[in-house]
Structure 1
Amino acid sequence: MPPKPKPQLTHFLLLPLVTPTSRPQLQSSLQRFFAEVTTPNDSRDPALPAKAIRPVGAIHLTIGVMSLPTPDRLAAACTYLQSLDIPTMLRAACDPPPATLSPDPPTASNPPPPQPLLTTLSGLHTLRPPTSTSSLHASPTPSSPHLLPFATALRAAFTAAGFLIPDSRPLTLHATLVNTIYARSAKSGKNRWTKGSGRFDATRLIERYKDVEWARDVRIEKVAVCEMGARVVGVEEGGGGVDQVYREVASVELP
C-alpha cells in the first residue's frame, strides 16, 4: 500500500511576540545580529545569507501547524479558537494557583485574574546537531512559568478538536531567528547560498550568543491563527531588507 500523502500545511497556531513594547527591543537586537552574522570579522564563523535572517515582524512562538484547505475548515478552526475559555485555561496552567490579596477568597463566580504571560527571549539554539543545522532560534526564558503549560494545553485542545496536525513530541517553544530555507530561489527551490544543503556549523555562533537577550519581559497579548508564509509589509530600517508579517485570520486577546 502506498504511503498516505502528507497534508498540505496552510495555517498555524501561534503566540505573536511583536508588540509596541517589544518591537523596539527586537528591532535593535536583530539589526545588530544581522550586521554581525552576514559580514563576520572572523573567517571561522559562517557568513549567513541575508535572506536567512528572519525579519522582526515574523518573530513568534509556534504551537502547531494545520491543514485547512477549504473555507469551511478554516472557518471551523477560527470559530473553535473564539470559543475557548482562555482565562480559565490560563488559570489552570498556573500550578499552584497564584495567591490573591483580595479579602474575599476566590470562588467560581469570583475567580482570581489570570497572571499575564511574560517572557524574555535569550540565547541562540538549534533543534538539530549544532555542527549541521539550517535554523537557529531564541528560547523563551520562563519569566512566566505557566507559559509552556498554557501553550501545551492549547496544542492539546486544537489537536483533540482535529485542527492541528498531531505531534507526539513534547512542545518546544522557540522563536526562529535564522532559517536558510528562506535563502532558496523562488524559481528553482534550490538554496542560493554556496552551501547547497543550506546547513552550516553553528557551534561558534551558539557559543557567541548564548548570553544575549533579544527582548526582555515581552508580554504575550494574544493567541492567533495565521496563514503560512510571511508577507512583505514595508521597508525595515537599518538592515535585513523588508519587514514581513504573517496574515492573521483569527485571534483571541489574552487577559
Structure 2
Amino acid sequence: MKEFKDAVTSTSHSPAGDDLPKIHPKAIRPELEQAMKLLKEFDGNALLRSTVGVASPSVSESPVTPLTIDLQGLVSMHDPQKTSILYSAPHDPTERLYPFCLAVQKLFKDAGFLVDDNRELTLHATIMNTIYAKGRAKRPPKNTQRQQTPEPDQSARASAEAPEGPAINDRAAGHGPEADAPLKIDATHLLEQYEDFVWAKDVKLDRIAICEMGAKKITDAEFRVVDEEYKEMARVAIG
C-alpha cells in the first residue's frame, strides 16, 4: 500500500512516468491493509475463552473447545409476505458463538473499521437472496420525470438482457434487514415447510476471515459454474 501511495499521490517525490495520474493522498484508503494487520495480530482463542469468563491462567492456556454449529430452519430477513432474503440462523449449543462475534465486532469497531450501526447483529447463512435472480428487471432510475414508458416488447427485451449479477448500487440495496431488492416473494408457506429442515450439522468454525465482497464463481474444465466461494484476504485460526 505504501509503495502504491508513494508512486501515485500528488505529494510523492518519486519519479513517475507521464502515464501515471497524480492522486490526492486522501483518496488512498489504507483501511483494508490495516484491518488485515489487526486481524492477524489478535488472539482468536483468547477472545473465544473470554466469552465464557475464563480467568485462571492455567485454564486460559488450555486448548479451546472448537465452535461447532448446526444450521436448521428458515427465517425471513423481512416481512415474510414481502421478502427478498431467507436465511438459516446458526445454533451453537455452548452459546459462545454470539458473544464471540460481538467481541470481534467490537474489536473492529473500536479500531474505526466499522461504520456506526445501531442494529442488532444478525448471524445468518443466506439461503436465498433475490438480488441475484437471473434476468431480473433493471431497477428504474430514482428521477422518473420525463421518463417515457417503454412499449411492452421493449420491456420484455430489457428484462431478458438484464445482467446476471447485481449492479454495484444494487448490492448495497439488496442486502441486510433494510434491503430493497426489486424482486420480492411471499415466503409464508416456505417458512412453514422448512421450519425444522437441517441444512448442515456439526460444522466446525475454525477461522475468522476478511473476504472480498461477492462470491467468486468456480468452474470445471468445461467452464461450467460448479460452485461459488469467497476469496480470503486474511484469516486467523480459532479452536
- Partner residue, 1:133: 83
Aligned-pair identity in percent equals: 36
Please state if 1:248 is matched with 2:232: yes
Matches within 5 A, 1:1-255: 70=28, 72-95=30-53, 97=54, 106-107=56-57, 111-183=61-133, 185=135, 188=138, 197-235=182-220, 242-255=226-239
CA distance in 1, matches of 2:159, 2:235: 35
Q: State the shift of 1:188 in Å.
A: 4.3
Q: State the shift of 1:172 in Å.
A: 1.4
Question: What letter is aligned with 2:35?
Answer: A
Q: State the shift of 1:218 in Å.
A: 0.5
Structure that is richer in strand per residue: 1
> Which consecutive residues of structure 1, in runs of 5 or more, have no partner in the other structure?
1-68, 99-105
Q: Which has the higher contact order (CA 8 A, sep 6+)?
A: 1
CA distance in 2, matches of 1:212, 1:112: 36
Alignment RMSD (CA, Å): 2.9
Question: What letter is aligned with 2:129?
Answer: N
Q: State the shift of 1:72 in Å.
A: 2.4
Note the alpha carbon deviations across 1:28-81, whole angstroms, 9 max, x for none.
xxxxxxxxxxxxxxxxxxxxxxxxxxxxxxxxxxxxxxxxx8462211110010
Of the two, which has the highest radius of gyration? Answer: 2
> Which consecutive residues of structure 2, in runs of 5 or more, have no partner in the other structure?
1-26, 141-157, 161-180
CA distance in 1, matches of 2:52, 2:61: 13
TM-score (norm 2): 0.65
* Conserved? CA contact 1:91–1:115, under 8 Å: no
CA distance in 1, matches of 2:133, 2:190: 19
TM-score (norm 1): 0.61
CA distance in 1, matches of 2:120, 2:200: 25
